[in-house]
Amino acid sequence: MLATWGHLVYRRRWAALALSLLVLVASIGVLAQAGSLGKGDNTQTEAGRAANLIDSELPRTSGSSFAVIFGSPTLSVHDARFRRAMQTALAPLRADRRVTSVQTPYDMGPVQAAAMESRDGHYALAVIAVRDGSGTAQGYYPELRALIHSPTLSTMAVGDLAINHDFDHILGQDLQRAEQVSLPLVLLLVFGTLLAALLPLGVGMLAVVGGFAGIYLLARLTPVSQYAFNVVTLVGLGVAVDYSLFIVSRFREELARGATVENALARALDTAGRAIVFSGLTVAIGLAGLLFYQGTFLASMGGAGAIVVAFAVLYALTFLPAVLALLGPRVNAWRLPLGRRQSGRSLWHGLATAVMRRPVVVLALTVPFILLAGSPVLGIRLANSDVTALPPQAETHRGVDLLRRQFPGQDQTQISVVVRYPGGRVLSAARVGALYDLSRRIAALPDVLRVEGPVNVDPSLNRAGYQALYARPQATLPAAVRAQVRQNVGTHIVLLTVLSARPAASDQARDLVRTIRALHTAGDGHILVTGQTAFDLDTITLIADDTPAALGFIVVMTYLVLFLLLGSVVLPLKAIVMDMLSIMASFGLLVWIFQQGHLAAQLNFTPASLDPSVPVLLFGIVFGLSMDYEVLLLSRMKEEHEHTGETRQAVATGLERSGRLITGAAAIMVAVFLAFALADSVIIKAIGLGLALAVAIDATIVRALIVPATMRLLGGLNWWAPRPLAHLHRRLHGADAVLPAREVAA
């Protein structure tokens, strides 16, 4: 079918180019009308449901406020010059209609003012509340931040709006850097000619544009993460360039053998084209596995990744062959002065022969190395990313570090306990008594500093005292009590805030959340717990629950696709095991680097637990991308085996013919991924470096050493399938048949 398509594209090359242009114009049209990516659905987890209740019932400004730390190494907060400089810097905000309030230590009572002054007396905090919610306010936050400056005092912004702005800004810079770093140079070195190198790069850019359009179409159906753009660029450039490389290289090889342009194109699509179709399926399957993680942004990122892979295959089978049909032998034009390469026969053929001469020795040396590299994964810790995912020099990262060091209570972990009631008066005598009992039980737990809430206002009151207090009309309550009620009591909920000195991602903080959740009820009220620690626990649990189904889907579907390509029941299983080795090694190295902190200074990040999305994304992407090389390598080996019927010769020749191509493809992939490893965002840095390590290990140790060794040991069993399956494969592929079982036995 693909050979026929190659002939058709050659004869209708202008129509194929027009089709590609129409798809591109449609993609640009979607981008021109791009809207918001949407907000995530929190209802899948207890922490998310509790956070939604707080947002809907309590007068919070979460996401629509930010704070600014003013400081001076010489002036004290109580110095008149410090006060004047701070008030002058904030004056433009007080006059701005988008700002609803500006609070400083000079506007507060003594107790509140103390919390807004640093321990050393040289820093003061200003809290700015804005009129709109976070979605709208995010658009004009940079303008507000630009209004704040002082020749006397240093300023650092913190808070939700500031942190979100830094994430968006840094992600945009990471994306631009990834598009510009090293890829063109690597393409030139792989192809040796400028024109041949430009073709894969062009296909890659077309696929990324299509992927971006797919993100915004997807956003109309479901919320999509801002990281989806990075994933689309990363995956789109990698696979599109790889697929183009396979086709262009095979086209040039057939031309060198004396084939006409039409026949060379048909042969390239029949061989390399078929390989990329199956490779695209395996990559899409790996990314589609992320769709099992409903309730998280992973599902949308898997959908976006699958879309860009589809565009990569589409353009590689339409735009690219049409351009090759127009160029013909001119695809080798503008050769670089790098000298003529010698044939790769001696290197790759010799390597394969040497490996197959001592397969047991090769496996005894390589497999333990892979297992050693992967061993740190046994100590992996997962936690949702916070401001530490930004580079240490980012303003909000420095600001949060300063807050935790200098401002009282800012280094404490907050756990929010929501007590939800089915109806009726929330502060009835019975419910106030149950809340009092709950508050004291929580306060007595290990690692709890104190509990804040409407039954913790006056230490002199006991259980009966609080019941009598809230039996009074609200208008007659003391001002401090009314403030507590306004901030922590809704129509159906009461909020208690638990403070702990334990870090949010620590085992002790997680145990505390589990213990509070085990209390279940307070009278007729149902307990829900939220906060960073609770979100960590819920996210990890959600991912752990969904992973078996996702993993099973990816493995089974990949096995079926590889069987349809290869006609063997052994080779797909071997390919899956090879993929697992690459993934395990990359996971272990990521833990060693990002969690344990090795290379932190060189890579400019703060060591921390891995974000739960990182291993899931890596598995989905790496599992599919590793199949690129497996499909290309095994397809070529199978092609040679059908000509010779001899496994050892097929392995040696297959590696000889595809070894340099795999090395070049891996070099391109690693260059793309390392560009993301240079990112400032720790999540993108970890994903980029993890993918680069996985591809490098996969293309060298696994494909060049372990694969030939295992195929030598398996011998004729490589190509075996039970008679009914072998017959099915022959019916599907005609002449492309596997060896019958009796020939394997012979």
Closest to 325 measured CA to CA, from 204, 199, 188, 191: 199
CB–CB of 488/455 below 8 Å?
no
DSSP state of 501: S
CB–CB of 458/428 below 8 Å?
no
Weakest mean pLDDT among 48-52, 427-431, 522-526, 626-630: 626-630
pLDDT of 744 reads: 43
Q: Determine the average pLDDT of the residues in 547-553.
A: 92
**CATH superfamily, with its number, for domain 8-37+192-336:** Multidrug efflux transporter AcrB transmembrane domain (1.20.1640.10)
CB–CB of 306/287 below 8 Å?
yes
pLDDT tens-digit series, residues 646-667: 778 888 877 777 777 777 777 7
Integer Cα distance of 666 and 127 in angstroms: 50
pLDDT confidence bin for 341, thresholds 50/70/90: very low
pLDDT of 737 reads: 43
Q: Token match 């299983």: residue?
A: 573
pLDDT confidence bin for 410, thresholds 50/70/90: confident
**What phi and psi, each to the nearest 5 degrees, are found at residue 493?**
-135, 155
Provide the residue count of the chain: 746
Q: Which residues pair with 371 in a beta bridge?
A: none
Decide whether 8-37+192-336 matches 538-746 in CATH topology. yes
**CATH superfamily, with its number, for domain 62-162:** Multidrug efflux transporter AcrB pore domain (3.30.70.1430)
642: alpha, beta or left? (left if phi > 0; alpha if psi -120 to 50)? alpha
DSSP characters for 349-362? IHHHHHHHHSHHHH
Weakest mean pLDDT among 279-293, 421-435, 489-503, 717-731: 717-731
**CATH superfamily, with its number, for domain 538-746:** Multidrug efflux transporter AcrB transmembrane domain (1.20.1640.10)
Beta-carbon contacts of residue 74 (< 8 Å; ≥ 6 apart): none
pTM assigned to the model: 0.78
Beta-carbon contacts of residue 149 (< 8 Å; ≥ 6 apart): 89, 155
Q: Which contiguous run of DSSP H or E holds residue 420? A: strand 413-420
β-bridge pairing 448-452 and 493-500: antiparallel
Q: Determine the average pLDDT of the residues in 224-236.
A: 81
CB–CB of 449/508 below 8 Å?
no
pLDDT of 736 reads: 44
Domain ranges of the chain: 8-37+192-336, 62-162, 401-530, 538-746
Asked if the model's pLDDT at residue 197 lies above 90, the reply is no
